[in-house]
Copies of this chain bind each other. A is one copy, B any other.
Amino acid sequence: MTKSFQFQHEMLHQVPIPVKLLTSYASFGLTELELVVILQIHRFAYEKNFFPTPNELISCLSIEETTCSKVLRQLIQRQFLSIEQRENDLQQLTEVYSLEPLWKKLFLAEPQPKKR
């Protein structure tokens, strides 16, 4: 075990993922790439970055910025992701991503047959 390993650090850097997201994304017509972009947005939110740029996102993806922007646009159009206005601590309006549309589909909708 290397010196740098710290349980404390690794324990604090985990993000719980709903099993249903992993078992249902394909039935929603989402690809693996789209799922991973969703997971990255969720992970950035966990780290209190609620509006990562495409450039920040691709630093942890294997795709180019233009592909990333396209994926984001399509996730919004297909209503898995939304952009909301929120007031920050300085009473300024800022934009944040919200995965609420996805969670609602996931937790409240009737199960759909898998599209392949």
Q: How far is the CA of A5 from the CA of B110 in the complex (A)?
A: 10
A6 to chain B, nearest CB (A): 6
Chain B contacts for A35, CB-based, 8 A: 32, 36
A26: which of B15, B30, B39, B60 is its contact (CB, 8 Å)?
A: B60
A46 adjacent to B8 (CB under 8 Å)? no
CA distance A22 to B35 in the complex (A): 12
Question: What 0/1 readout, one digit per residue, does chain A (1-43) give for beta carbons within 8 Å of chain B?
Answer: 1100111101111111111101110100011110110011011
Given contacts A10-B107, A108-B2, contact A62 B16 (CB under 8 A): no
Question: Do A19 and B23 form a contact, CB below 8 Å, given A61-B32, A103-B7, A108-B5?
Answer: no
Q: How many residues of A contact B (CB 8 A)?
A: 50
Q: Which residue of B lies closest to A109 (CB)?
A: B2
Interchain CB contact under 8 A, B11 and A103: yes
Interchain CB contact (< 8 A) of A12 among B46, B61, B104: B46
User: Across the two chains, which residue of chain B brings its CB closest to A82?
Assistant: B8
Contacting pair B18 A10 (CB below 8 A): yes
